[in-house]
Structures are given as structure tokens and as C-alpha cells.
Amino acid sequence: MEKIRIAVLCSGGGTNLQAILDAEEAGLLPCGEVVLVIADSSSAYALKRAQRRGVETAVFDKKEYPKVVREEKIFACLKEHEIGLVVLAGFMTVLSEAFVGAFRGRILNIHPALLPSFGGVGMYGLKVHEAVLKAGVKVTGATVHFVTAECDGGPILAQRAVEVHEDDTPESLQKRVMREAEWVIYPETVEKVCERLTQPRHKGV
Ligand code: GAR
């Protein structure tokens, strides 16, 4: 069986990338392989995580290229590497309708809340956890979804709930959501999608 060639797109720390690489190393990603990591910032620590594992990296820096050019370059790079699944992991560039349309059913994102709550434009990173604490909800979590033109609006593939504690700060809540939800459901879902993409009916899509 040919494995699905995965590209992970990151902007920062890359702990979700790490969780996926660790799953792969542990044999928990039999249907896929991470062959490329792309960052939109040359200082993204995710690049170091990739290099440590010998995964090829590419940087199309926000400071260097305007969005349209950056997106074209990312698209060309994905095609050149014959990528079958694009995994957004803390990637802070909102991709155009044309871009996501070209990877329909082959592009995933993780969001640090239970969508459709606390999602949409401007909701990313710590801002999400700040909004959760402000709303006073007792349960939050993480969501993995297909990416469509609507920000955080694509079909949901997996969710896991996490308790909000009375004394949580945005930072403590972010850590718990990552540890208890994101790092668990993202590798699992990537494997499930890769498995589905290796089925004969998906060939040539
Ligand atoms: C993660 O919490 C991810 O869910 C979030 O950014 C963080 C990236 O961390 N993504 C969003 O908020 C997207 N709307 P990482 O670089 O350590 O994986």
C-alpha cells in the first residue's frame, strides 16, 4: 500500500506537528507519512522539530511575501512534493477559497475549542481560551475538521471535551486542551483520513 504523503503547515511552536511525528514514529500512522513541513515564519519552532526528524522543510515568510504570492508558492510546493493530505497545525494564514477548493477533502485543521462555539475569523490561539473563560462555560475542548472556504466551518471529523477549572488562566487552559485533546485527536484523525484516502474509490481524486 502506498502511504499518503502528508504536508504539515505551521506558524509557531508545532506541538501538534510533534504529536503527529511521534505517532508516526510509534507506528500509529501506518497509512500516511509526513514528508514536508511548511512554515510562514522563519522563526517557527516547528521547523526545528521537523529538521530533528529529518523531514524536509520550506519557509514562505509573511515578512517576505504578500499573502497572494505566499499562497501561490505554498500551492506550488505542495504540488511539487505530490502531497495527498494537507494538515494545518497552528497555521495562521487564512487560505483562499481557490486553494482549499483544490484540496477539497484533503485539508484538515485543528481548532482549540468545541466548534461551532468559539470559532471564526480572529479566533485563534490564546484568544480562543480567553473567550471561553469570559463566557464562563464549564467544558471546552478541541475540534478537527475539514477545511472549507468558511473559516472554522468545514465538516467536523473529531472532537474531545476538556473540563474548564475555576482557577484556569488562558495559558493553563490552553495547555490542558492541547495535552488532553489536541495531541490525542489530531494524530488519530490524520490516520483515519489517510486510511480512507488509500481506499481504491479515492484514487485519482
Ligand atoms: C493550537 O492550540 C491550535 O489548536 C491552535 O493554535 C495552536 C498551535 O499550537 N490553532 C488555532 O487556533 C487555529 N484557529 P502548536 O503550534 O503548538 O501546534
The pLDDT confidence band at residue 200, using thresholds 50, 70 and 90, is confident
205 belongs to a structural domain: no
Give yes or no for residue 111 CB within 6 A of ligand 1: yes
How much is the mean pLDDT over the chain? 96
Domains of the chain: total: 1
Range of the domain at 91: 4-200
Minimal-distance CA residue to ligand 1 atom 9: 90
128 belongs to a structural domain: yes
103-121, pLDDT tens digit by residue?
Answer: 999 999 999 999 999 999 9
Tell me how far apart the alpha carbons of residues 151 and 153 are, in angstroms, rounded to a whole number: 5
Q: What is the dihedral of CA 4, 145, 111, 195, to 10 degrees?
A: -30
Q: What is the enclosing helix (H) or strand (E) of 36?
A: strand 32-39
96 belongs to a structural domain: yes
pLDDT of residue 202: 65
142 belongs to a structural domain: yes
The CA-atom distances, in angstroms, between 26 and each of 19, 20, 58, 102 are 10, 10, 25, 31
119 belongs to a structural domain: yes
2-50, pLDDT tens digit by residue?
Answer: 999 999 999 999 999 999 999 999 999 999 999 999 999 999 999 999 9
Give the whole-number percent of the chain exceeding pLDDT 70. 98
Report the pLDDT averaged over residues 64-77: 97
Q: What DSSP state is assigned to residue 72?
A: H
Minimal-distance CA residue to ligand 1 atom 15: 14
pTM of the model: 0.96
CATH number at residue 133: 3.40.50.170
Tell me how far apart the alpha carbons of residues 103 and 86 are, in angstroms, rounded to a whole number: 8
The CA-atom distances, in angstroms, between 183 and each of 83, 113, 142, 160 are 22, 13, 10, 11
Which residue of the set 81, 111, 129, 145 is catalytic?
111
Alpha helix segments (H runs only) across 26-142: 45-52, 67-80, 97-102, 126-135
101 belongs to a structural domain: yes
State yes or no: pLDDT of 163 exceeds 90: yes
